Amino acid sequence: MNMEEPTTTGKAVLLIISLWVIVLFAFFSLRWEMIYLVLPMVWLFLTAVTFFKPSLEIDVERVIPHERILEGEIVEIKIRVKSKERIPSLRLIEDIPEELEIIEGKGEFLISLTPGEERELTYKVRMKRGIHKWEWIKAEYQDPFGFFFIERTFDVFSEIVGVPKIEDVITPYSTKGTKVTAGPLPSPRVGEGVEFHAIREYQPGDPFKIINWKASAKMGKIMSNEYESERKVDVVLIIDAAYKGREIFDYTVRAAASFILDCLKNGTSFGLLISEEVPMWIRIDYGKRHFFKCIDFLSLAKPDKNNMIAYQVEHIIKTRFPARAQILYFSPFLTEEGIDALKTLYRYGYNVIAISPNPYSTIEAKTREEELAKKLLMLERKALLSRLSSYGLIIDWDVEKPLNSAVAEVIRL
């Protein structure tokens, strides 16, 4: 808490000067009856000092509902203030992050408090994706006569992470791959299944139905068949964070978050690459903890002017990517770098599904010329995606429609 002593206002200074002028004039003119003119002003000043000069002894706290909140949600923020003294007119100013839209209430409050009274003040904001920080609450007081002013800043830190919207999507690829799983989550163990894997020596606890009697007779000891359970593919999600597509970058992030949830539900292990200037790579793993880690990274992702996604993809392919991973590539294909990254993935033999938010689907044409320009851009994009379809399955997503519909249209083809 930053402490500041009460300061006298210009009105108080003017009053003091007036008092001295009257006293000096009475002294030099020998008109002592003028001293009576001073008494009301002195009484007024003493009243303000005695009854209306608090030291702002208050306790202030901010209450937020959760640390993570979906973008677009309306969030109610509460400020609790408790006074240890009488404060006739207290003004509280809240440090609301500029990027958040205030839906109800405002960032300033004017209240009066009695000793021991506790008040709860509220306002509502609409959450946006990203990290949002509140750092202080400022309290101001000025007495009713305007003689004294005191200001105090309370260090009250709060933080909310706005996470991207998530929707249910259709899995656009086969979940069968190279990772052995048992149950809803990946497991490295080989278990009972339908696909024969190998013959091994009998182990206590093996069911009799998997004993291979023919091999046992040949080897002179009891041997068992070993089967592979259902296999799952590793999924790598790659986000093209090119600044040229910043207008629809939030849609790109939402699509990636939706497919990460789909991986979690399918028990599929997944990794995430966000191609900012310094690439963010989250290694392949599975489970809820890994899911929330990836969501947090997506929540903080921003378009980058120094995007080098093609170079980053090739570098990480050589060092981090599993050999037969399923690639989900999210890009509006507005830059050569973004296009080259797709070609690089294809060149290394990966199965790629590209989810491409259409950057022109959010444009609202207001004139005939704008409508014509939009049609030309859409035709150019259609031709580009047609050429890129030889490098992977392309899902052209009109962001004004649900992502699931765009995926379903392509899967039916």
Domain ranges of the chain: 1-163, 191-228, 232-411
Whether residue 192 contacts residue 179, with contact meaning beta carbons closer than 8 Å, is answered with: no
User: Which pairing describes strands 326-330 and 235-239: parallel, antiparallel, or unpaired?
Assistant: parallel
pLDDT of 189 above 50: no
> Taking phi first (over 0 means left), then psi (-120 to 50 degrees means alpha), and beta for anything else, what does residue 226 get?
beta
Which tokens go with 287? Answer: 């489970």
Does 4 score more than 70 pLDDT? Answer: no
Cα distance between residue 23 and residue 35, in whole Å: 6
SS3 state at 356: strand
Q: What is the pLDDT of residue 254?
A: 96
pLDDT at 146 over 60: yes
- Return the pLDDT at 226: 67
User: d(Cα 190, Cα 243) in Å, to the nearest integer?
Assistant: 45
* Least reliable range by pLDDT among 12-21, 210-219, 357-366, 391-400: 12-21
Q: Is the pLDDT of residue 334 over 60?
A: yes
At residue 193 the predicted structure's pLDDT band, cuts being 50, 70 and 90, is very low
Residue of 81, 132, 82, 80 whose CA lies nearest to 102: 132
CB environment 141-174: b (16+ within 10 A), e (fewer): bbbebebbbbbbbbebebebbbbbbbeebebbbe
What confidence score (pLDDT) does residue 200 get?
74
Model confidence, pTM = 0.73
Query: What is the model's pLDDT at position 174?
Result: 76
pLDDT band at 51 (very low <50, low <70, confident <90, very high): low
* Higher-scoring residue by pLDDT: 350, 306: 350
Tell me the two tokens of residue 346. Answer: 């294809």
Which helix (H) or strand (E) segment holds residue 37: the answer is: none
pLDDT digits 0-9 by tens, 356-385: 999 999 888 889 888 999 999 999 999 999
Q: How confident is the model at residue 182 (pLDDT cuts 50, 70, 90)?
A: very low
Residue 261 pLDDT exceeds 60: yes
Whether residue 183 has pLDDT greater than 70: no
Burial state string for 79-97 with b = 16 or more CB within 10 A and e = fewer than 16: bebebeeebeebebbbbbb
Of 85-89, 119-123, 275-279, which has the strongest mean pLDDT? 119-123
Confidence grade of residue 11 (pLDDT, cut at 50, 70, 90):
low
Q: Which CATH number fits domain 1-163: 2.60.130.10, 2.60.40.10, 2.40.110.10, 3.40.50.12780?
A: 2.60.40.10
C-alpha atoms less than 13 angstroms from C-alpha of 368 in its C-beta half-sphere: 0
Q: Confidence class of residue 5 from pLDDT cuts 50, 70 and 90?
A: low
CA distance 241 to 359: 13
CATH architecture of 232-411: 3-Layer(aba) Sandwich (3.40)
Could you tell me the pLDDT band of residue 178, with boundaries at 50, 70 and 90?
Answer: very low
How far apart (Å, rounded) are the C-alpha atoms in residues 321 and 314? 10
End-to-end CA distance of the chain: 63
Cβ atoms of residues 142 and 148 within 8 Å: yes
Q: 213 pLDDT exceeds 80?
A: yes
Cα 322 from Cα 318, distance rounded (Å)? 9
**What is the crossing angle of helices 403-411 and 249-266, to 10°?**
70
Residue owning tokens 């509006």: 332
* Largest distance between two CA atoms of the chain: 135
Q: What is the DSSP string of 228-243?
A: E--EE--EEEEE--BG
Cα angle at 71 between 67 and 77, to 5 degrees?
50
What's the whole-number mean pLDDT along residues 23-29?
A: 70
Average pLDDT, stretch 222-232?
Answer: 66
Q: How far is Cα 316 from Cα 90, in angstroms, rounded to an integer?
A: 57
CA–centroid distance for 143 within its chain: 42
Give the integer Cα–Cα distance in Å for 282 and 289: 12
Read off the pLDDT of residues 52-110 as tens digits, 9 standing for 90 and up.
566 788 899 999 999 999 999 999 999 999 998 888 888 999 999 999 999 999 889 99
> Is a pLDDT exceeding 60 seen at residue 188?
no
Res. 218 pLDDT band, cuts 50 70 90: confident
Higher-confidence residue of 404 and 4: namely 404
pLDDT for the residue numbered 185: 38
Please, what is the average pLDDT of the chain?
84
Asked whether 194 and 182 are in contact (CB, 8 A), the reply is: no
Q: Convert 285-304 to b/e letters by CB count within 10 Å (16 or more is b).
A: ebeeebbeebbebbbbbebb
Q: Are 40 and 176 in contact (CB under 8 A)?
A: no
CA distance 398 to 413: 17
